[in-house]
Amino acid sequence: MKNPNFINRRQFLRTAGQTASVLTAASSLAPAVLSAPVPGATLGVGCIGIGTRGGDLLNAVVHAPNVKVVAVSDVYGPHRQKGLERSRNPDAKAYEDYRELLADPRVDAVVIATPDHWHCPMVLDAVKAGKDIYCEKGFSRTLEEAKRMRDALQASHVVFQLGHQARQATCALQAKEIIARGVLGPVTLVRTGRFKSTEPHRPNWRWYGYYDQWDRPDPEQVRRAVNWDLWLGPAPRIPWNERHFWHWRCYYAYGTGYAGDLLSHEMDFVQYLLGHGIPDTCVSSGLIALLNDDREVPDTWTATYQFEQPGRTVTFEGSMNTSDQQPVTICGRDATLRFDAIAHDVTRFEIIPAGHNRNPALPKGYVRGQTPTPPNHMVDWLDCIRSRATPKCSTDEAFIETATFLMSLKAQQERRMVRWDPIREEIV
């Protein structure tokens, strides 16, 4: 039976064009360049995408000082309702189309937590509307998108933060300082990984609305509550697909699989610690080893990056079929610094001397209370909005993140070593 809510591509483009014209006129009233907000003034934040991560980020925003969630946007009705309920603001407005939220004069800044295929148009539209931006990782699906986003952000005065919360860890800041002092000696090897095993009838990336929710909502009610054409947006036009809506991480039309979803977290953390930029080369492999449903993205992933100038190799191993562990480990000639967990769960580290290292002053590991606690990732962004400073995971860092994980994706898909060309800014 034909979906009564389904419209063809020509109808969609005509309707979208009409909507865009109205919203463009409204958005033209927004400032192209933001002036510095008055210190202590309440910031009005709009949250776009209130699903899994979006719900978490909204919770973080409402607990930040001098901030009010004034608007939420989602193409799925229950998510809009969730956003209103969590906003702690009876005057908050809910929008189905994010462009209406951008046209709302009460919105000073936006949090974008949609599927990745929407990041580029939403960031570009938010820049045009003069809104400061917090965007979930991965930054974009393609390198061309990343360049467009970077160039637009750099040409603006918008304060941008990419959602890599591992950078907020106090122990990471202390480790970064130790590494910078050369305590480990030359760092030649870094090991990272992401593993997670679930019950066979609950395969990874197949939850419904949150990581621990496996009960399937009524499919017909979901279909009626979703603006499917608006959800697809720039993605290829297909009829309503429940699995694509809930489990978009499994399909390359909407994201980049293991590379942008998990590897990016680890590699960004390593970049935060070492600051070595985009790798020179990458080899990568991926396999659907056990989760043989209709997913396109592998459930097992490995990548090896090399940085030729410092003589450094960074490895990543990941599997959704085992509960093994690979804490972030920084291996130097004179000592190894090993964290207690994956990137965004780190709380402490130990330092293990090499056999030849007899330095009595070598630190033993993380010292609680020695390093001031930095603001969390969301508060860092909000503080920078007020000061017009640069957040920890800014535009430049977002571009490094994207080039890095896309090197792994391209190497895996083309089954070859890839190289970064810094002159052309291309993966070759």
For the chain, list the domains and their CATH numbers: 9-158 (3.40.50.720), 167-201+255-374+395-427 (3.30.360.10)
CA gap 47, 72 in Å, rounded = 5
Whether the pLDDT of residue 29 is over 80: the answer is: no
pLDDT at 131: 98
Whether the pLDDT of residue 343 is over 70: the answer is: yes
Q: What is the pLDDT of residues 345-373, one digit of tens each?
A: 999 999 999 999 999 999 999 999 999 99
Question: What is the overall mean pLDDT for the chain?
Answer: 92
Contacts of 234 (CB under 8 A, 6+ apart): 117, 118, 120, 121
Confidence class for position 315, pLDDT limits 50, 70, 90: very high
pLDDT at 39: 56
Q: What is the torsion angle, in degrees rounded to the nearest 10, for the CA atoms of residue 235, residue 238, residue 241 and residue 243?
A: -40
Whether the pLDDT of residue 304 is over 60: the answer is: yes
Q: How far is CA 149 from CA 108, 140, 195, 225, 231, in A?
A: 19, 9, 31, 31, 20
Q: What is the pLDDT of residues 147-205, one digit of tens each?
A: 999 999 999 999 999 999 999 999 999 999 999 999 999 999 999 999 999 999 999 99
pLDDT at 229: 98
Whether the pLDDT of residue 1 is over 90: the answer is: no
Q: Is the peptide bond before 255 cis (omega within 30 degrees of 0)?
A: no
Helix/strand/coil for 103: coil
CA gap 68, 111 in Å, rounded = 12
Q: What is the pLDDT of residues 57-103, one digit of tens each?
A: 999 999 999 999 999 999 999 999 999 999 999 999 999 999 999 99
| Percent of the chain's residues with pLDDT above 90 | 90
Q: Find the mean pLDDT for residues 287-300.
A: 96
pLDDT at 35: 41
Q: What DSSP assignment string belongs to 7-43?
A: --HHHHHHHHHHHHHHHHHHHTTS-SSPPPPPTTPPE
pLDDT at 41: 87
CA gap 405, 258 in Å, rounded = 9
Query: For the whole model, what pTM was predicted?
Result: 0.90
Structural contact between residues 55 and 210, judged by C-beta atoms closer than 8 angstroms: yes
Start-end of H helices in 233-376: 242-246, 257-258, 264-274
Helix/strand/coil for 378: helix
Cβ count within 10 A of residue 426: 14
CA gap 30, 214 in Å, rounded = 42
Confidence class for position 410, pLDDT limits 50, 70, 90: very high
